[in-house]
Amino acid sequence: MTEVLVTGGLGFIGSHTVVSLAYAGFTPVILDNLSNSRISVLDGLEQLCGYRPVFYEGDVNNPEVYDRICAAHTIQAVIHFAAFKAVGESVEKPLAYYRNNVGGLISLLEGMQKSGISNLVFSSSCTVYGEPDHVPPDESAPVKPAMSPYGATKQMGEQILRDIPSIRTQCLRYFNPIGAHESAQIGELPLGVPNNLVPYLTQSVAGWRGPLTVHGNDYPTPDGSCIRDYIHVMDLAEAHVAALNRLLGGKSDSAFEVFNIGTGKGSSVLEVIQAFEEATGEKVPFTIGPRRPGDIVQVWADTQKVDNQLGWKARRDLHTMMKDAWRWQQQLTRPS
Ligand code: NAD
Ligand code: UD1
């Protein structure tokens, strides 16, 4: 069995990827410091994987953790999710973001070099394109000045990895992951008031929050609201398995390869609301508010490269994303 270290493997995308890895016959080894996840996620993973995945509670910044893990396992590749991801918080605490996201990556790479592990899948983001000159951007579109310290950490991460050809990297630029595993055993667990559209929407419909505010309906888009490429988190999880197979199969064209991971289809905020209502039969309470500072108008993925080279394609549509997000929300207990 091929053992794969999954940093941040109890988080939103990491936990779904652990399931996809297990389904594909890999053995995930999870490292997470629980800074933005709960240990109970392991129970859901046990249900879905059919066994309780190995879990190390530890920090990617701690070099000793790699000695401990590599002494007990033969790690063939790493999928690196562990990072902080709140854009607004990164503006308030930039050093914490640089320490965790850039410092953590450097510690990981040092640990990998020491242990002779040379295969990596890295979580990047479409945020590196900023407001693209042309929509949809392909992977060669220029990286724009970062709009937040969080965005800067993703750009720096990519640059560091380009500079280290001894580590073969699949750099995945995610668009907007939403939804949950269809079983509702695992999903997204945002702490406090969600900033992102879909967790706020589902919490609002569940009565946990007030009406959703649509941040602007005066953009130059068909219905005036912003457009994003929403992708089901299980499709995203499966893209990691494809990237891993490409790495381990020796099929990468170069030491550092980038792929856009999206559906190739843009949906506006108002279309998301409509899709939710159609998919669930629930009414979404919402008001139109002002634009949110820092929002880009529209972006969706050019998927030509991923279609041609990775052998992966997003399969789940917006209705499925909405159904699964709602099923997950319905079984959550409201925090006191
Ligand atoms: P998440 O916060 O749900 O998961 C991250 C996990 O990493 C958490 O379980 C957290 O406890 C853990 N972690 C954080 N710092 C750590 C550290 N120093 N040591 C060990 N564990 C640590 O986030 P997510 O949505 O699953 O995102 C995963 C990755 O994907 C991140 O790198 C994020 O920047 C990137 N990404 C996310 C999105 C998105 O919309 N969710 C979009 C683009 C890119
Ligand atoms: C944001 C981050 C991005 C990060 C991603 C996942 C910014 C500028 N970008 O992307 O870097 O990778 O989250 O964490 O913060 N919306 C509403 N009402 C709401 C919430 C959102 O109308 O209550 C709208 C937004 O204006 C946007 C769309 O929904 O048009 C999606 O927003 P969101 O889910 O926050 O994702 P992004 O802004 O695309």
**Does residue 187 sit within a domain?**
no
- Which among 81, 106, 79 is positioned nearest to 160, based on CA atoms? 106
What mean pLDDT is reported for the chain?
Answer: 97
Within a domain: 216:
no
**Residue 154 CB neighbour total at 10 angstroms:** 26
Q: Which of 88, 103, 115 is nearest to 196 (CA)?
A: 88
Q: Which residue, judged by its Cα, is nearest atom 36 of ligand 2? A: 196
Ligand 2 mean position, distance from CA 185 (Å): 25
pLDDT of residue 99: 98
Q: Given this model, what pLDDT does residue 60 score? A: 98
Domain that holds residue 65: 3-178+231-262
Q: Is ligand 2 within 6 A of the CB of residue 269? A: yes
**Owner of token pair 């008031």:** 193
The total number of structural domains that make up the chain: 1
Q: Which residues of the chain have pLDDT under 70?
A: none
In this prediction, residue 200 carries a pLDDT of 97
Q: How far out from the chain centre does Cα 276 lie?
A: 21
Query: What's this model's pTM, rounded to 2 decimal places?
Result: 0.98
CB 2 within 8 A of CB 74: no
Position 51 in a domain: yes
Task: Report pLDDT for 183.
Answer: 98
196 CB within 6 A, ligand 2: yes
Kindly state whether residue 268 falls inside one of the protein's structural domains. no
Ligand number, closest to the Cα atom of 91: 2
Q: For the domain that residue 9 is a member of, what is the CATH number?
A: 3.40.50.720
Report if residue 208 sits inside a domain.
no
Residue 321 lies in a domain: no
What does the pLDDT read at residue 336? 75
Q: Is residue 104 part of a domain?
A: yes
Residue 17, ligand 1, Cβ within 6 A: no
Give the pLDDT score at 1.
85
